Structure 1
């Protein structure tokens, strides 16, 4: 298992990264991307998991649930 951390320069970079990351990788992005019109729809439709960076407890909960699901479904 590994974690890829990307410091991208634009929101559109994330959609390109989804195409090149390993198949069993689970992309996580900031929730603000959901509100960027077409970009938000494309991210949502591609299965990206969104976290709210302004609500620490909620972000930790989403990441914890994602990790549990990954372990249960052997997606590592």
Structure 2
């Protein structure tokens, strides 16, 4: 968790519960505006995807196209 997120959480914890709910809804709207189809990757997700692709390239995983499904 980044320091910015930690600081944001600490500030949210200072708010009354009703204001916390408002802030939560606002954050949800921000995320949806940034990625309405949930198709963008976070930095962590991108790193995990690239690491998995590297393992595939190294032959550590079997590609589904290499499997006889019949």
TM-score bracket, normalised by the shorter chain, equals 0.3 to 0.5
User: Going by fraction, where is strand more abundant, 1 or 2?
Assistant: 1
TM-score (norm 1): 0.34
- RCO greater where, 1 or 2, for CA within 8 Å and sep 6 or more? 1
User: Going by fraction, where is helix more abundant, 1 or 2?
Assistant: 2
Greater Rg over alpha carbons, structure: 2
